[in-house]
Amino acid sequence: IGVIYAVNTLGAILGSLLAGFLLVPEIGLHNTIRLVAALAVVAALAILWITPGARGRAAGFALAAAVIAAIAFVPEWNRSLLSSGIPV
């Protein structure tokens, strides 16, 4: 358990540093979120693929396909609407 917790902590630290100092300045917030979502889908698909006899495998693949479609087809954010200060 200790090793898993340590790896999780290290990943959280490195991920926040990588996102904050490299990805967001280089490719922007919107594309960083898209990249991280795509990496999460790839990781989920890898786990579904290597898990023998996983229940709901077809549903998992369908959900992953829906997330991939959402990543691919979501337009850029409306920056003026986001910065207008209008309460939602």
Taking only the tens place, the pLDDT of each residue in 18-42 is 999 999 999 988 888 888 888 888 8
Q: How far apart (Å, rounded) are the C-alpha atoms in residues 54 and 77? A: 37
Pair 23, 39: CB distance under 8 Å: no
Q: How confident is the model at residue 8 (pLDDT cuts 50, 70, 90)?
A: very high
**Total-model pTM:** 0.65
Residue-level pLDDT at 4: 93
